[in-house]
Amino acid sequence: MIPFSDLARAAFCPRQCYYARRVGERSIPPEARTRIDLAFRYPELVDAPDATLRRLPIRRSPAAYRRILDRLRERPVYDRLVDPVRERAYVSGRDCHGLIQKVIEPPTAPVPEGDTAADGSEGESNGGESPRAPVIVSPGEPPEEGVWEPQSVRAVAAAKALAWELQRPVRRAYLEYPTVGVVRELTMTTRRKAAYRRALRAVRSIDGPPARVDDNRCTGCAYRERCGSKRRSLRSLLT
């Protein structure tokens, strides 16, 4: 059974996944945990004074952050996010397992034509959709559009595990970025599921160090010295 975190790492870089598995490092750093915890505090933060918000690891000015949460509060998904069906739920599916920060009842909406459920079934509407959807909370920031591929892979893995647990199709997942107040909805498209399958095959095939890469992914990697990448962080260049 493969952890969600291994799949996300493999989607980013299989070699990074190899080293992370060797050292057994899967814990969330305290600073990342603090940022994730913001996702459970929206009702108090939406009207919080500047002094309170400045003490928190948000990545927008206090005034901008309150405006962003005001707009989020107008979306149908907001009430589900602040009152989830389950919090910090461990789920285990056929191929993978891990922690889902929130399990919510998704707002009623049709599934776009051509999308499939996490269990692979087709559907033109959400009539057969599970009344649950996973929410993955990220401590970072999203790209300008969509989500980062490793996070998409993690979301698909969570949806598949939840679908296995519920024995119902799961056609949607959410990525939540509480430091900037952004929530992105994902449907289980063919492209996203193909990326998940590639990551799954990559993890299963690891029995030694995968091929080394040498690009921008290496700069912030905690294993770059062990890996032997020629890329160095800015900090190492200044010391």
DSSP letters of 46-82? Answer: TT--HHHHHTTT-SS-HHHHHHHHHHHHTSTTHHHHH
Cβ distance 208 to 197 under 8 Å? no
Out of 85-89, 141-145, 213-217, pick the least confident. 213-217
Please indicate, yes or no, if residue 236 is contained in any of the structural domains: no
Please indicate, yes or no, if residue 142 is contained in any of the structural domains: yes
Please indicate, yes or no, if residue 16 is contained in any of the structural domains: no
64-118 tens-digit pLDDT: 999 999 999 999 999 999 999 999 999 999 999 999 999 999 987 544 444 455 6
Domain that holds residue 113: 31-199
Cβ distance 85 to 105 under 8 Å? yes
Please indicate, yes or no, if residue 183 is contained in any of the structural domains: yes
Please indicate, yes or no, if residue 227 is contained in any of the structural domains: no
Question: HSE on the CB side for 10, CA within 13 Å?
Answer: 25
Judged against a pLDDT cut of 70, whether residue 44 lies above it is answered with: yes
State residue 126's pLDDT score. Answer: 44
Residue 84 CB contacts under 8 Å (≥ 6 apart), including other chains = 102, 103, 104, 135
Please indicate, yes or no, if residue 204 is contained in any of the structural domains: no
| Structural domain count of the chain | 1
Most confident of 78-82, 104-108, 205-209, 235-239: 78-82
The structure tokens 């459920």 sit at 117
Please indicate, yes or no, if residue 181 is contained in any of the structural domains: yes
Q: Mean of the pLDDT values across residues 28-56? A: 96
Judged against a pLDDT cut of 80, whether residue 239 lies above it is answered with: no
State residue 129's pLDDT score. Answer: 61
Please indicate, yes or no, if residue 137 is contained in any of the structural domains: yes
Judged against a pLDDT cut of 80, whether residue 26 lies above it is answered with: no
The average confidence (pLDDT) of the chain is: 87
Cβ distance 5 to 96 under 8 Å? no
